[in-house]
Every structure is written in structure tokens, then in C-alpha cells.
Structure 1
Amino acid sequence: MNNTCYSRKISVFHGLKAPEVATLVGYGAIIEVLKLNMPLPDKLALISDKRRSYNTDKWKVFSSRTAFEDNLYKHLVFALKYEGINLLFFKKLFGKLNEKAIIELLQVEPTGQYSRKIWFLYEWLLDKYLPVEDLSIKNYVPLIDEKLQYAIPGKNSSRHRIINNLPGTPEFCPLIYKTDKLEGYINARLSDQKNTYLNGIHKDVLQRASSFLLLKDSKASFTIEQENPGTNRAMRWGKAIGQAGAKALSIEEIERLQQIVIENARFVKLGLRAEGGFVGEHDRLTGDPIPEHISAKPEDLSSLLNGLVEANTLMQDDSYDAVLAAASIAFGFVFIHPFQDGNGRLHRYLIHHILAKKRLTSQGLIFPISASILDHIEDYRMVLQSYSHPLLDFVDWKATENNNVKVFNDTVDFYRYFDATKQAEFLYDCVLDTLKRIIPQEVNYLLNYDEFKRSISDKFEMPDNMIATLVRFLEQNNGILSKRVLNKEFSVLKDHEVEWIQESYNNIFSNKP
């Protein structure tokens, strides 16, 4: 292993065109040489022959002055220093190297911060002690470099002199990189902006808006799953969303919510899956599965969900951003896909739950996040596929007799340790869209409705239910009452009254935020 060369000049790597001919280093180089069974990181590191550094969507290019000796330890130091912590990589690496090779790595710089990080990660990920004595030096170093990735305050590991600031446990720990976009959102303090947007709105209007927004969110969540629920079913799920954050998150609570989502369980086995699962289509001729996403193996579900619940508890620390926590937990859940049905709606419920628990929502007003997701459905699909599609090449599966999938290799770590940066950026986009567009639109609509209702009541003394019907017909026909409506439901109206109603409606409802 010591004589292995890891650096290599590339212009194209796994179909990706490099921005220049340069030397592949760090995680990408080690994964390639050791043939680690895992997807490549979203960004790969290169060292240029020139003295310049820059970033692109897929590459981090470093100056020639960054060049280092070509051995495994130096590549690991480079990766930890510049590419952050990649838990999936280290779990795969430790599965490839024997204990002797690990100890040799640690002896290169026994008290160096990067040796300590590698040592801690080995024992943390594998739950296995190396025959190495505890350190007695004074200084502690944080495991996650908070210039690169988001972390919790953490706890000291005196053995390694490491501050374990990972926002999770060995059973479940997604990580999120700091990006300009996320930093912009976090520094804008959306929680404070929320109060700015909602100030001045009467409490009664907010309460009424909340009821409509719950139903809107519930229907949107079903529509995303290409379902068209009846109003009662949508209201029932809306009521559950309205209680998000009230109970502690647990596997039992998630199973209870699945029972609410699945109205008719005749054809669905409730609870954790006892067989494989996938998201995708079936071949029309053979019925064979055509997966877009392979779910976690059934024997791994309890461990993964217990880890998810524990990670959620760690992320409840006030220092950890609410939207980052929601992205890690909610998308982690949908990637695990623990149930036969209902996973998508429960995934979006978890967003509500965490935002409520971490007090991003308040004043009794729920964020109709599913409505925003529905309006950005293609972006939503892309952010799901950014995780699922690269994984397909590393899952060994075969079709079963009942046209399901059975996975034969060990896949649990793919669901434990993933990069949730893209998911966090997407979710923040949706939270801001909800705050700036969807909630104000609903509130504005109610205010316009009240004004229109007063004008109709004053002039015609029309009952409330008839006004509601009138508004619905005007909405459906762009502010004009159709001939059918005028010949049937509102035949008593005279021509000049129809003109007045239509003009009044269009004047009032043209007042949009």
C-alpha cells in the first residue's frame, strides 16, 4: 500500500471533462485506485500545473503550490483539509485496509490533527478499538472543519483529543457542505423575516389562512404522489400536518402517521417493509422492475430509523439550522424508504415536524412546503435523483417472482452517510418561496374575498354559501360568469347587476401581492 501511486494526470474522468489537464488527488484519486465500492463525491479535487485555484460545479482546482508527496496518508490529509469529512468514503476505506495498515497510517504523525481524525473515525465508524494508547496532549481539534461543513457543538473524545461535532451517529449521519447559497440563506435569518412578512396581518385572518394552507399542503402532497384524494382524506392528513412538532419523533410515531396516510390498507402491509423496495416503473411486457431508486434492505430498516431518530435529537441543538436539520432527516427518510407505501407524504411531514420543533414556524401558521415543492416538481425530482441515480451502479439486485427487487450486497452505509447539500439548498429555496409567495398569496386572497363578500352582501344581501359559489364560478372563468351559470344558478341577476359583480370581482382580485 505504501508503494501505491494515487495521483494521476487526467483530462476526462468517469465521463466528466476536467476544466484542464491536471492531477486528480484526494478522495477521487483514492476511490479510483483502491476501487472503493461507492459513488464519487459531487466535487472532485485537482491540482493544476499552474499557480491558480478556482471552483466549477464538479471540480475544485488547486494551485500547483498545493502539490504533495504521492502516498495514501498525504492524500487523506489533503482530503480532510480541503474536501471535508466523507463518512461513506472512510467506512469503505476501513473495510479495504487491515488493522495493521491503519496503525501504520497513524504512526506517520501520531499526534497530528489529521491522524487523530482518521483514528477517531475508524473507532467511531467500526465500533472497534485499535491497540493504540490514549493521547495525553492538551489541545482538542474539532472533527468537522466548520469552514467546510455544518456541525453541532459536539462532545470531547479524550482518547483522541477530538471534538466529535458530527450531527449524527454511526447509524445515521448525513453531512452538508457550506455553500454561498446556504450561507446567504442562514445569514438572512428567515425566522426573523417571517415575522416581518406576517406583521400587520390580523390574527383572525392568519388563523383562517392556516386552515386553507393546511388543506392546500395536504392536497399538494398527494398530488406529488400522483394521487387525487377526496376532500375528507386530504383534510384528515392536513389535520396531522397541523399537529407536526407536537410529539417526539420515534419509529412508533412514524408508523402511526402511516396509518393516517393510508386510508385503505387492504392492499398495503402497514409498518416497516419485510421485503425489498424500489421507486420506478415496471416493464410493460415482462413486468420486470425498472428502478430509479433502490430502497434500503428490510433487515437494515430498524437500525437506520433508530439512527435517524437519534440524529434528529442531536440536531435539535439551537445552534444547528432548522432547514439543514429538516433536509437531512426528511430526505434521509425518503432515501431509506422504509414503508411499502406513504413514504413521500411522511417525508414531507418530517419537514413540517422539524421546522415546527425548531420554531421556524409560529403564530399557528404552518408552512405549506408541499405546495412550493409541487410548483418546483422538476427541481424536486432532480434533487432526489442526484442521490438515487449514482447509487444504482453500486447496488447488486435482481428481480423477484412478484416483480419486486432483492438486494444481495451490503448497502446500509449508502443510506447512513450521504451528502445532503443539494437537498438542503432545494429545501431552503422552497421555504423562502413559501414565505415570500405562497403564504402572502393566501392571506391576500382571504382579504380580497372578505372585501368582495362585503360588497356583495351590502348590495344584494346574498347568503354566504351563494357568495362562495359565485366566487368559485368567477375564478373558474377568469372573472366572467358563463351563460350556463347565468341561466341556472344565478338566473335572477339582471344584466347590469352581472356587469357590476364582474367588474367588482376583477377590481378587487386584481390586488395581488
Structure 2
Amino acid sequence: MLGKIRLPGAIGVSYLPPPPELCEELMSALMEWANGLSERHGGSDPDRVPALVAGTVISFGFVFLHPFMDGNGRISRFLLHHTLCQLRELPRGNLLPISIAMKRHEGDYLAALETFSKPAREQWRVNWVDADHHDFHFKGSENLYRYWDATQAVTFTLKMAREALRQDLKAETHYLACFDHIYRSIDTRFDVRGSDLSRLVMMCLSHGGKLSKNRRKQFRHQVPEDVLNAIESETQLLLGEFPDGNPIGLSEI
């Protein structure tokens, strides 16, 4: 169990979810719709929803319902990736790094959320009672939460998917290729514990082919100095093959 159904938040927050009884009803409806997508996704079914649109509705719909005290945003982004896999737009186990692109465009992500959250917040009257107690009254129509315009959310998600495909996936592919090359080169020449070697290669790649004094000190008892030097040399040699000394996007991984 990830959390408990939450009550609406306190005064000053930018968004209030639907009342608890409505939240439970809408969560059930969202799950039922999401779980039935795979049956409607194949062939020429007129009710077929494109995978990115479906993933966006599920992801943003979940975060708008906001059923848990914490973790709603993280779960919503997982649901986007899960939907793409469930509808077989991505082979199971594969991942399109949309979340990385979203993080880079956090302002646009918040703007997409606010196309719904701001109007929804205006439909709540919040009165201070005492100390940490407030009286919440929803003065709007339940249809506000039942039927929301996903246009901005879908537009944003499509943009992030394109960017992740053209930029972040390419960067991660370069990173993994560099990591594998350096790891194999060192592993064939030295006897180093795999977990230590993995960490050192990642650190060296992330810092332009250098291991800091602190890192060298941290590993001095389990990794000989000549191995640390070899990792640096191999990494610098590989990075030197790129015009700017860095594979595409490597510093962002």
C-alpha cells in the first residue's frame, strides 16, 4: 500500500484535490479505464486512444486526483511509462526517458498542471478555524474533476517524448557505450571488484575523465593506485575521440 487517501490540503497551497468521497470514485473509474486500454488498443477500434494521449490522461489524471499524502508526482510519471509499455508502444523493460526531459522543462510541466489546478483551486472556499484547523468547502461542480481538458497536458507530453527520443535516449546510449568500453578494458587488465569498478567508471565519466582526491581516498584500501590511474587514462582517451571532449549529453546523465 503506497499511502492513505488524503483529505484536501491546507490554506495557501496551489491546488486542492476532489473531496475524499469523489476522489475514491474517480480513482476507481480511472483505474478501470486504464486497465481496459489494452483491449481497445489493437486493430481499427474506433475507441482506440493513442498511447501517448492515454498515458497523459492517466498520468495527469492521477496527479489531479492526488490520492496520497506524498509521492503523487512520482507515481504519475511512472504511470506514463507503464502505459506506453502496457500498450506495447515500448517493448517491456525498455524505457523512454521522458521524465528527464520533464525535469529539464519543469516550468512548462508546472504550467501544464496549472491549466487545471488553478481553476480547480478557485472552486474551493477555505476558512481558518484555529491553529492548524481549516474549514474546506467545495463550491463547484463535480464535473470539474470528472471532465477536464487534457489538450495542454497532451501537447506538453508529446513535446517531451520527442525530445527524449531525439536527445536523451541518444545521450544515454552514448553513455552506456562509453561505460561498457571502459569497464571491459579495465576488467580484462586488473582484478577489481565489479561494484567498485562500476562506481569508479561512472564517477570518472561524470567528471570529464578525472577522479577527485576524495574519491581516490575513499577507494584507496580496495583499489590500487595504478587501477585508478588506468581508469582515468582510459576515460580520457575515449572522451578525446569526441570533438568537444564529451559524448552527446554525457554530462547530463
**Aligned partner of 2:169 among 424, 428, 439:** 439
2:93 pairs with 1:364: yes
> How far apart are residue 298 of structure 1 and its match?
1.2
d(CA) in 2 for partners of 1:300 and 1:443?
44
Residue-by-residue CA offset, 1:49-75 (whole Å, 9 max, x unaligned): xxxxxxxxxxxxxxxxxxxxxxxxxxx
d(CA) in 2 for partners of 1:359 and 1:417?
27
Number of residue pairs matched by the alignment? 234
d(CA) in 2 for partners of 1:496 and 1:315?
53
> How far apart are residue 403 of structure 1 and its match?
4.3
Give percent identity, aligned residues only: 26
- More helix, by proportion: 2
CA RMSD of aligned residues (A): 3.1
Residue-by-residue CA offset, 1:238-279 (whole Å, 9 max, x unaligned): xxxxxxxxxxxxxxxxxx4x2xxxxxxxxxxx3323x3x13x
Residue-by-residue CA offset, 1:461-505 (whole Å, 9 max, x unaligned): 242344324324423532223345557736633998687445324
The aligned residue for residue 51 of structure 2 is 322
Distance change in 2, residues 1:442/1:405 (3 Å):
farther
Distance change in 2, residues 1:428/1:461 (3 Å):
same
**Aligned partner of 1:343 among 64, 67, 72:** 72
Query: 1:373-412 counterparts in 2 under 5 A?
Result: 373-399=102-128, 401=130, 402-403=132-133, 406-412=136-142
- More strand, by proportion: 1
User: Which segments of 5 or more consecutive residues in structure 1 lack a partner in the other structure?
Assistant: 1-255, 259-269, 279-287
User: Which segments of 5 or more consecutive residues in structure 2 lack a partner in the other structure?
Assistant: 42-47
d(CA) in 2 for partners of 1:485 and 1:314?
50
What is the DSSP-based 3-state SS (H/G/I as helix, E as strand, rest coil) of the residue aligned with 1:289? coil
> Contact conserved, 2:81 with 2:95, CA < 8 A, in 1?
yes
What is the DSSP-based 3-state SS (H/G/I as helix, E as strand, rest coil) of the residue aligned with 2:136? strand
d(CA) in 1 for partners of 2:100 and 2:135?
32
Distance change in 2, residues 1:502/1:358 (3 Å):
closer
The aligned residue for residue 45 of structure 2 is none
The aligned residue for residue 334 of structure 1 is 63
What is the DSSP-based 3-state SS (H/G/I as helix, E as strand, rest coil) of the residue aligned with 2:201? helix
The aligned residue for residue 455 of structure 1 is 185
What is the DSSP-based 3-state SS (H/G/I as helix, E as strand, rest coil) of the residue aligned with 1:407? strand
Residue-by-residue CA offset, 1:381-426 (whole Å, 9 max, x unaligned): 1111121113333322324543456124244211111110000111
Distance change in 2, residues 1:381/1:404 (3 Å):
farther
Distance change in 2, residues 1:477/1:362 (3 Å):
closer
Residue-by-residue CA offset, 1:104-157 (whole Å, 9 max, x unaligned): xxxxxxxxxxxxxxxxxxxxxxxxxxxxxxxxxxxxxxxxxxxxxxxxxxxxxx
The residue identity in structure 2 corresponding to 1:365 is: N
The aligned residue for residue 125 of structure 1 is none
The aligned residue for residue 44 of structure 2 is none
Distance change in 2, residues 1:493/1:420 (3 Å):
same
**Aligned partner of 2:156 among 399, 410, 426:** 426
**Aligned partner of 1:474 among 181, 190, 204:** 204
Distance change in 2, residues 1:468/1:332 (3 Å):
closer
2:225 pairs with 1:492: yes
d(CA) in 2 for partners of 1:332 and 1:496?
51
Distance change in 2, residues 1:394/1:408 (3 Å):
closer
Rg comparison, structure with higher value: 1
d(CA) in 2 for partners of 1:496 and 1:340?
48
> How far apart are residue 301 of structure 1 and its match?
1.8
The aligned residue for residue 290 of structure 1 is 12
Distance change in 2, residues 1:395/1:479 (3 Å):
same
d(CA) in 1 for partners of 2:175 and 2:15?
39
**TM-score for both structures, normalised by structure 2:** 0.76
Query: 1:3-402 counterparts in 2 under 5 A?
Result: 256=1, 258=2, 270-273=3-6, 275=7, 277-278=8-9, 289-312=11-34, 315-316=37-38, 317-318=40-41, 319-362=48-91, 364-399=93-128, 401=130, 402=132
d(CA) in 2 for partners of 1:366 and 1:396?
42
The residue identity in structure 1 corresponding to 2:97 is: P
Distance change in 2, residues 1:506/1:314 (3 Å):
closer
The residue identity in structure 2 corresponding to 1:381 is: L
> Contact conserved, 2:56 with 2:80, CA < 8 A, in 1?
yes
> Contact conserved, 2:186 with 2:231, CA < 8 A, in 1?
no
What is the DSSP-based 3-state SS (H/G/I as helix, E as strand, rest coil) of the residue aligned with 2:12? strand
The aligned residue for residue 512 of structure 1 is 248
> How far apart are residue 324 of structure 1 and its match?
0.9
d(CA) in 1 for partners of 2:68 and 2:200?
43
d(CA) in 2 for partners of 1:410 and 1:479?
58
Distance change in 2, residues 1:440/1:271 (3 Å):
same
What is the DSSP-based 3-state SS (H/G/I as helix, E as strand, rest coil) of the residue aligned with 1:396? strand
d(CA) in 2 for partners of 1:484 and 1:491?
15
